[in-house]
Amino acid sequence: MTTAIAPQFATGHIGLNVSDLDRSVDFYRRAFGFEQLAASADDDRRWAFLGANGKLVLTLWQQSDGVFSAETPGLHHLSFQVDTIEQVRSIEALLRELSVSFAHDGVVAHGEGVASGGIFFTDPDGIRLEVYAPTGAESAPAPSGVAPTCGFF
């Protein structure tokens, strides 16, 4: 069997099903500072494109009922990387003002002795989210020990 050589991949945009488009657009704009790049005008097929600096990052599709399920196969969590742990803490403060539910109290490391770390929380539909920085969390607790924190919340 021949194995193809993978090209250099980068994540494009992420598409999420949401139950209330207006609520989700408001949350992602306030929490992450995304701008709305485009949106549907059709009440039967509601969607919005959100991004930064004109680049599409997130598409929200209003085509779901209920809440996100962590018990079924599919998306585990969505992670956003920022440059510094100070940026993570700034986003954490803003999310606390929005009364967001956090999995851990404050910044945590991705594992014992690991420099990367961040915050873990849910959006209005219960979709698990992470904001992390590649360095700066060396002294933060590691809730899952040597196992990846992002895998067990």
- Tell me the three state secondary structure of residue 55: strand
- pLDDT at residue 141, rounded to an integer: 95
- Average confidence (pLDDT) per 10 residues, the chain, 153 residues: 79 94 97 96 93 96 90 93 97 96 96 96 96 97 94 91
- pLDDT at residue 61, rounded to an integer: 97
- Tell me the three state secondary structure of residue 131: strand
- pLDDT at residue 6, rounded to an integer: 76
Burial class (CB in 10 A: 0-12, 13-18, 19+), 21: middle
- pLDDT at residue 84, rounded to an integer: 98
- HSE on the CB side for 68, CA within 13 Å? 19
- pLDDT at residue 11, rounded to an integer: 86
- pLDDT at residue 3, rounded to an integer: 77
Distance CA 100, CA 105 (A): 12
